[in-house]
């Protein structure tokens, strides 16, 4: 990662410091450097190049070739040249750096209080790039010519803003303004001060950020938060917060050193951590809060001007729509939600939402990979031709492979929403155009589900070659792809809510053995259950529960106290008995829904995975004392003893949180037994965990305790364990298949 991170200016300064002559250029395969001079300064140059590159740069390979000197007198930065396909990497967007922050708050500085301050070490990248290579004319800053002041810095190799593409100052660059109804308040400082006054008064403000609009309000003002929920049609899904600094974060959540490091990391993700404070309406019935630190100069200015120290900062959209990033669209779509619009003039080239992460049992877990991470290359795959993997229908991302480099897109969302589906189509067009891939050459990879929207879109693309990949194998392969490990044979646990299986049933509790190169064979799975009503059951935990509990003998009356199951359960049970509109599933997600239903979650969910998250937080609030049986019987994990124990303990009056705790431990023990059995039978030493169920941190912590022994346990570290990681796994499996065909 050497473009847009101040790499060429760094090379130039380094060469000059060592009195070397030559040049540096953004070539089509990365950065090319030519230096000539004496041996010891040349050695020093190479050493420092490796040892102290700019903070956001990453060198994955460095090749050195001796040539005859031609007698150059000075060191220069050459214009980028284009020969072939651009395979260079575009950097993710960066948070404002400390040096720029000092200038931002330094009254005599030309950029004092200027919300678009940036330098080669910081600022937007991916969200402003229109075309590669990364030069100002290829960014959304092309309409603001630099004045003499900025141009002098831009052209001075000794300056921090040397070739900083979005460089600007109040005299020559874009500005913010505030729009309330018909009234417009111009001027950066005036519009920011007025915004702060509105936020303090409990208003909801749409503010333009890096990759889209946020909706902001005072997180400690419950009526404002509830008003935002109502206007956004967002019933219960937690809101993310932006806090003024780490002190405020520590006041609101239990911030482990790992979580704090993640919070302050260069990607500045939203970090989930156990809540210490109750903020009305922010995260109903959820034991965690999602926090991020300010990352743009605008955010810092808002807090410095007196904005409430904890702001709800949620994506500018209604319910499950995609985030608004164009001004006209935002003004229209958010008109009924925001009281005012803080509009920045610099256009956003593409939507990039905030990323979400957690400090998990095995290190950081990325739950939504977007701003700050995308579109960084995540792995090198053994495939020469370009490939496009279109991912899954939920939490969609796409992966483009060019010259073997796998670029995973930003989070796109759930494709059943039309605006997200459009975003999916646009992202494919955008990536293919940016890397100038020819459709004729492209291998397109899609999910095996015949009714997936992503798969039907793949069929409609003008490429010749299309390959299906089974959903749960893609999950396991995503973990191995991150490690570029194609040969290691593993036991792979792939657990999630739903995915299309080889036999046409709905899978979700699968254990495979194999490698990416040889493929994965399914050897163990959850005992099949009925799924009355098909995918609709995912929205109603009691409906899913009917399919599982219909197989459990000796249950108490679930219509009575303390269960109070509604009519929907008994209707679904009837469907199951008569085999009407009933499918077969091995979904672990639905098993968690069943556990949640037995412990009191009998209403419909309002966002994906809600019942499982509820059950996890219930379980986290109790100490570990015992476990429920979840035995391996042949090639099936049998849920019947587990659910029987849960129902009977609840009937007996055992506190629900203690039952939830033992439920998690039981699942962990069953999985552990299954994985260890496969390892022993097949001489394997590595266990892979992937799929949306592994977003559950309580389950991960239990597994970490239980899976000690002569095993390595590999989890996702770069892409999400949920369906956001599917596209990478698809690309890897298709690449290896292609590789072995050659």
Which residues form the interface with Zn ion (CB under 5 A)?
97, 100, 119, 121-122, 147, 149-150, 169, 171-172
Complete edge-to-edge strand list for the sheet that includes strand 30-36: 30-36, 21-27, 75-77
CA dihedral 164, 170, 172, 178 (to 10 degrees): 110
C-alpha span between 552 and 17 (Å, rounded)? 76
- Closest distance of CB 264 from Zn ion, Å: 16
- Closest distance of CB 167 from Zn ion, Å: 7
Cβ atoms 186, 125 nearer than 8 A: no
121 vs 690, which CB is nearer to Zn ion? Answer: 121
Nearest to 165 by CA among 201, 134, 207: 134
- Closest distance of CB 79 from Zn ion, Å: 22
C-alpha span between 184 and 708 (Å, rounded)? 62
Look-up of token digits 């292609």: 738
Strand, coil or helix: 273: strand
Compute CA 210 distance to the chain's CA centroid, rounded to the nearest angstrom.
16
CA dihedral 676, 681, 686, 687 (to 10 degrees): -40
Name the E strands within 347-464: 356-360, 363-368, 377-380, 387-389, 399-402, 405-408, 443-447
110 vs 717, which CB is nearer to Zn ion? Answer: 110
Asked, as a colleague might, if the bond just before 375 is cis with ω within 30 of 0, I would say: yes
Nearest to 217 by CA among 292, 276, 282, 270: 282
23 vs 116, which CB is nearer to Zn ion? Answer: 116
Look-up of token digits 């290691």: 488
166 vs 347, which CB is nearer to Zn ion? Answer: 166
- Closest distance of CB 159 from Zn ion, Å: 12
By DSSP bridging, strand 213-218 and strand 443-447 are unpaired
Nearest to 390 by CA among 460, 440, 340, 330: 460
Q: What is the 3-state secondary structure (H, E, C) of 516-531?
A: CCCEEEEEEEECCEEE
Look-up of token digits 């050193």: 257
Which residues are 519's β-sheet partners?
515
169 vs 443, which CB is nearer to Zn ion? Answer: 169
Tokens of 238: 């937690």
57 vs 493, which CB is nearer to Zn ion? Answer: 57
99 vs 681, which CB is nearer to Zn ion? Answer: 99
25 vs 100, which CB is nearer to Zn ion? Answer: 100
DSSP assignment of 457-489, as one string?
Answer: HHHHSS-SEEEEE-HHHHHHHHHHHHTT--S--
Q: Which helix (H) or strand (E) holds 449?
A: none
171 vs 261, which CB is nearer to Zn ion? Answer: 171
- Closest distance of CB 7 from Zn ion, Å: 15
- Closest distance of CB 13 from Zn ion, Å: 16
114 vs 507, which CB is nearer to Zn ion? Answer: 114
Q: How many CB atoms lie within 10 A of CB 544?
A: 32
Residue 109: burial class (beta carbons within 10 Å; 0-12, 13-18, 19+): middle
- Closest distance of CB 563 from Zn ion, Å: 58
161 vs 350, which CB is nearer to Zn ion? Answer: 161
- Closest distance of CB 271 from Zn ion, Å: 23
6 vs 725, which CB is nearer to Zn ion? Answer: 6
Cβ atoms 1, 91 nearer than 8 A: yes
346 vs 472, which CB is nearer to Zn ion? Answer: 346
- Closest distance of CB 96 from Zn ion, Å: 6
- Closest distance of CB 189 from Zn ion, Å: 17
Nearest to 133 by CA among 23, 49, 240, 30: 30
Cβ atoms 445, 390 nearer than 8 A: yes
171 vs 197, which CB is nearer to Zn ion? Answer: 171
The DSSP 8-state label assigned to residue 404 in this structure reads: T
- Closest distance of CB 611 from Zn ion, Å: 44
Nearest to 242 by CA among 323, 354, 410: 354
* Contacts of residue 250, Cβ cutoff 8 Å, sequence gap at least 6: none
- Closest distance of CB 147 from Zn ion, Å: 4
Nearest to 594 by CA among 529, 539, 531, 544: 544
Angle between helices 656-682 and 610-620 (to 10 degrees): 100
160 vs 318, which CB is nearer to Zn ion? Answer: 160
Helix intervals (H) in 88-210 = 98-104, 148-155, 188-200
100 vs 611, which CB is nearer to Zn ion? Answer: 100
């Amino acid at each position: 990662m050497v473009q847009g991170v101040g790499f060429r200016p760094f090379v130039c300064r380094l060469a000059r410091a060592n009195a070397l002559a030559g040049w540096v250029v953004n070539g089509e395969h990365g950065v090319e450097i030519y230096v000539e001079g004496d041996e010891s300064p040349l050695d020093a140059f190479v050493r420092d190049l490796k040892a102290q590159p700019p903070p956001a740069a990453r060198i994955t390979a460095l090749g050195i070739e001796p040539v005859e000197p031609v007698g150059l007198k000075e060191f220069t930065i050459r214009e980028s040249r284009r020969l072939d396909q651009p395979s260079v990497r575009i950097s993710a967007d960066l948070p404002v750096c400390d040096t720029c922050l000092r200038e931002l708050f330094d009254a005599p500085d030309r950029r004092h209080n200027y919300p678009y301050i940036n330098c080669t070490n910081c600022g937007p990248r991916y969200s402003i790039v229109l075309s590669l290579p990364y030069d100002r004319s290829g960014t959304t800053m092309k309409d603001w010519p630099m004045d003499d002041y900025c141009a002098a810095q831009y052209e001075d190799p000794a300056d921090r803003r040397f070739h900083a593409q979005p460089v600007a100052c109040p005299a020559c660059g874009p500005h913010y303004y505030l729009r309330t109804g018909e009234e417009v308040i111009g001027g950066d400082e005036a519009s920011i001060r007025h915004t702060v006054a509105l936020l303090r008064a409990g208003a909801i403000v749409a503010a333009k950020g890096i990759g889209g609009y946020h909706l902001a309000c005072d997180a400690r003002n419950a009526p404002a938060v509830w008003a935002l929920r109502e206007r956004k049609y967002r019933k219960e899904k937690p809101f993310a917060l932006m806090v003024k600094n780490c002190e405020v974060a520590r006041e609101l959540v239990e911030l482990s050193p790992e979580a704090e490091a993640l919070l302050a990391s260069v990607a500045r993700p939203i970090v989930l951590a156990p809540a210490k404070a109750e903020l009305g309406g922010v995260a109903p019935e959820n034991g965690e809060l999602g926090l991020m630190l300010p990352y743009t100069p605008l955010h810092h200015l808002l807090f410095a001007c007196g904005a409430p120290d904890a702001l709800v900062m949620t994506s500018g959209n209604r319910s499950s729509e995609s985030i608004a990033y164009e001004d006209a669209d935002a003004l229209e779509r958010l008109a009924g939600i925001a009281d005012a619009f803080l509009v920045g003039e610099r256009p956003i080239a593409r939507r990039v939402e905030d990323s979400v992460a957690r400090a998990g049992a095995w290190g950081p877990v990325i739950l939504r990979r977007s701003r700050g991470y995308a579109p960084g290359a995540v792995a090198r795959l053994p495939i020469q031709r370009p490939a496009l993997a279109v991912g899954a229908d939920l939490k969609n991302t796409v992966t483009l492979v060019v010259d073997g480099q796998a670029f995973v897109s930003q989070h796109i969302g759930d494709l059943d929403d039309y605006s997200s589906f459009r975003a999916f189509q646009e992202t494919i067009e955008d990536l293919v155009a940016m890397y100038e891939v020819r459709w004729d050459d492209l291998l397109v990879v899609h999910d095996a589900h015949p009714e997936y929207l992503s798969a039907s879109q793949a069929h409609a693309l003008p490429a010749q070659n299309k390959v299906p990949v089974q959903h749960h194998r893609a999950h396991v392969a995503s973990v191995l792809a991150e490690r570029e490990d194609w040969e290691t044979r593993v036991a792979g646990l792939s657990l999630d809510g739903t995915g299309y299986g080889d036999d046409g049933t709905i899978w979700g509790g699968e254990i495979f053995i194999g490698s990416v190169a040889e493929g994965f064979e399914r050897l163990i799975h959850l005992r099949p259950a009925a799924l009355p009503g098909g995918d609709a059951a995912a929205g109603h935990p009691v409906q899913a529960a009917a399919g599982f509990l219909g197989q459990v003998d000796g249950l108490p009356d679930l219509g009575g106290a303390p269960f109070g199951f509604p009519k929907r359960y008994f209707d679904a049970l009837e469907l199951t008995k008569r085999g009407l509109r009933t499918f077969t599933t091995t979904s672990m997600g639905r098993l968690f829904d069943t556990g949640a239903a037995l412990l009191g979650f009998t209403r419909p969910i309002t966002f994906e995975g809600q019942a499982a998250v509820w059950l996890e937080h219930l379980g986290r609030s109790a100490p570990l004392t015992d476990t429920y049986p979840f035995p391996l019987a042949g090639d099936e994990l049998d849920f019947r003893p587990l659910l029987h124990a849960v129902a009977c303990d609840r009937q007996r009056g055992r506190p629900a949180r203690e039952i939830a705790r033992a439920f998690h431990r039981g699942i962990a023990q069953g999985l552990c037994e299954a994985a260890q059995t496969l390892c022993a039978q097949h001489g394997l030493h590595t266990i892979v965990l992937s799929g949306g169920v592994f977003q559950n941190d309580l389950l991960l912590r239990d597994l970490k305790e239980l899976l000690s022994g002569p095993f390595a346990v590999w989890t996702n570290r770069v892409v999400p364990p949920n369906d956001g990681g599917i596209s990478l796994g698809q690309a890897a499996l298709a690449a290896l298949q292609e590789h072995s065909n050659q």
